[in-house]
Structure 1
């Protein structure tokens, strides 16, 4: 089974976030087809951590929490910039919306 291209997932995430009354922006553009996507989540302005697509213990795609959970903007920026240095294909997206984890899981995890 083929996976959706990263740029398609990012576009869908931006659109769904805006449709839900939130804001979203690309902080760093990654590889269009296969780049991983790291999402910095804010719940109406309050830091809600980072997440990315990964695999659960059962081998099924899942939303995996990553990085500092409630980092201030400087710490959060340092985290994703360090990740980008190690993986220049990585997309970094910031979403600020009510219940961001649910919305991100819909787009990032599901094929």
Structure 2
């Protein structure tokens, strides 16, 4: 199994890199600093993109994959349900071009 950065460090690195690329990032919900799971809402110039979650694949490697409803209007309810069942969950929004590439480069 691959080593993981602490969740708080990962969130900070993602936001910092998004800002370096001319975008921005915001923590919508703070989770456990060490081991919290992470949902990332991607956007590009304010246009919502996919909601991503890092999951363990069958080979033991972490991969980012789309999660939740595709309809942006329904994501708030989905995130609220997830936070009720996992209060350690982080929710992050990154508004940057090529957000998936950024996420995979930092937290792949």
TM-score normalized by structure 1? 0.87
Kindly tell me the number of residue pairs found equivalent between the two proteins.
107
CA distance in 1, matches of 2:88, 2:66: 19
Q: For 1:63, what is the secondary structure of its paired residue? A: strand
Q: For 1:89, what is the secondary structure of its paired residue? A: coil
Q: For 1:25, what is the secondary structure of its paired residue? A: strand
Tell me the residue number matched to 2:98: 99
Q: Unaligned regions of 5+ residues in structure 1, if any?
A: none
Tell me the residue number matched to 1:30: 31
Give me the CA root mean square deviation: 1.5
Tell me the residue number matched to 2:79: 80
Map of 1:66-77 to 2, 5 A cutoff?
Answer: 66-72=67-73, 75-77=74-76
TM-score normalized by structure 2? 0.89
Q: Give the CA deviation at 1:69.
A: 2.7
Q: For 1:32, what is the secondary structure of its paired residue? A: coil
